[in-house]
């Protein structure tokens, strides 16, 4: 490591350390470089033409995530050596962003320091590609990556203002010679699937399935994830593949959001979902507290909780069918496909040349890597949150 600072920083006096800004939001970051306190800001690099991705990740604060990962996925033996967990997660982001195999991933000493690897005897400890592979595949595994995804999603939700959610699937293309992946005639290729929920333009949660699995059965998993992340949304937009009475009702009841599920051109009003039929069934269950005089929201909630879930869904679907301003499915898919395409242009979001038992693992970690890049920009109040073209 050279004696030059690896970023545009200013030297701080010892008294300045007591007044340093906090890391959330990370407008400035301070660390000790070879015994000298320095501080830096991401704004110093936004106009550059070529910057190491490690420089961006220097400003990513995942210390709380790292503590939970260390607590839940590491041995309790105090003597067991381990690299800094936050630094290892950032190292994995570098690997997936640069799309390099483990045996070829190389960090300079400066880059390792920027990621947060510790100094020992004047030298920064840099883990090998094999160590990173063990960390991703065996230390974290799918369970750990799912845990990180949920924590990152929750952090993103707290930093954005949008209240409109969207769910759509995207193909994870496989090699044409892949024995395990299914051929999907709609997309014309062998593939697996990623089902992604976004809030605004920010991907929050993803689950992985085989290429021919239907979209609709995945919705309960996404609803449960949004509830766990304490997401407060006003509407949930989905395409026609998710159209069912149960899905309409579950979104309204569990997420307290308006279900905006695209309807086919031949969709018709369901008589059982009209107010008169709701009144009839509420009255019929008067012993349970039902009444035709209940407010509509209370009546729907009562019917949902007493086994009339499909009828509640019929009512909600009827309301969308009567709404002339109901959003066009094409616009929904266009925005989803734009973000999905950007993910695929940023990281390796496919399953080509990936072993069958590792497909879900690496699909999810690539997704999480993209989430963490977005989180870095959000924490540092960068306006172009989805822009990473200057980083290498």
Mean pLDDT across the chain: 90
pLDDT at position 28: 85
Domain locations in the chain as residue ranges = 10-144+374-379, 160-355
pLDDT per position as a tens digit, 128-165: 999 999 999 999 999 999 999 999 999 999 999 999 99
H/E element, 74: none
The residue among 274, 207, 199 whose CA lies nearest residue 235 is 199
Residue 60: Cβ-neighbour burial (10 angstroms; 0-12, 13-18, 19+): buried
Residue 322 to residue 8: CA distance in whole angstroms: 59
pTM to 2 decimals?
A: 0.90
Judge whether residue 5 has pLDDT over 70. Answer: no
Residue 9 to residue 5: CA distance in whole angstroms: 7
Mean per-residue pLDDT, 242-252 = 97
pLDDT per position as a tens digit, 158-208: 999 999 999 999 999 999 999 999 999 999 999 999 999 999 999 999 999
Residue 70 to residue 80: CA distance in whole angstroms: 12
pLDDT at position 325: 80
**pLDDT-based confidence at residue 80 (cuts at 50, 70, 90):** low
């Amino acid at each position: 490591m050279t004696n030059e600072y690896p970023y545009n920083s200013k030297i701080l006096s010892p008294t300045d350390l007591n007044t340093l800004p906090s890391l959330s939001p990370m407008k400035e970051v301070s660390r000790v470089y070879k015994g000298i306190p320095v501080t830096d800001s991401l704004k110093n690099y936004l106009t550059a033409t070529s910057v190491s991705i490690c420089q961006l990740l220097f400003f990513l604060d995942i210390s709380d995530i790292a503590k939970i990962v260390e607590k839940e996925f590491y041995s309790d033996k105090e003597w067991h050596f381990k690299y800094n967990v936050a630094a290892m997660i950032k190292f994995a982001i570098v690997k997936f962003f640069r799309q390099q195999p483990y045996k070829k991933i190389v960090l300079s000493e400066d880059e390792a320091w920027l990621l947060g690897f510790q100094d020992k005897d004047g030298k920064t400890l840099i883990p090998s590609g094999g160590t990173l592979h063990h960390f991703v595949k065996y230390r974290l595994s799918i369970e750990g990556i799912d845990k990180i995804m949920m924590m990152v999603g929750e952090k993103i939700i707290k930093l954005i203002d949008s209240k409109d959610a969207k769910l759509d699937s995207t193909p994870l293309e496989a090699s044409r010679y892949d024995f395990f992946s299914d051929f999907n005639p709609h997309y014309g290729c062998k593939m697996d699937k990623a089902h992604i929920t976004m809030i605004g333009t920010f991907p929050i949660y993803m689950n992985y399935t085989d290429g021919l699995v239907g979209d609709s059965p995945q919705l309960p998993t996404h609803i449960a994830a949004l509830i766990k992340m304490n997401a407060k949304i006003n509407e949930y937009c989905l395409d026609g593949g998710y159209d069912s009475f149960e899905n309409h009702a579950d979104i309204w009841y569990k997420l307290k959001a308006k279900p905006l599920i695209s309807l086919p051109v031949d969709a018709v009003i369901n008589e059982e979902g009209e107010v008169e039929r709701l009144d009839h069934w509420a009255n019929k269950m008067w012993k349970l507290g039902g009444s035709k005089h209940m407010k509509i929201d209370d009546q729907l909630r009562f019917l949902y909780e007493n086994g009339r879930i499909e009828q509640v869904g019929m009512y909600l679907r009827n309301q969308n069918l009567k709404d002339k301003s109901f959003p066009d499915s094409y616009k929904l898919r266009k925005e989803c496909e734009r973000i999905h395409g950007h993910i695929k242009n940023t990281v390796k979001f496919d399953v080509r040349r990936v072993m069958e038992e590792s497909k879900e693992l690496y699909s999810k970690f690539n997704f999480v890597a993209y989430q963490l890049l977005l989180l870095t920009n959000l924490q540092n109040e960068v306006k172009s949150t989805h822009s990473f073209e200057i980083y290498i």
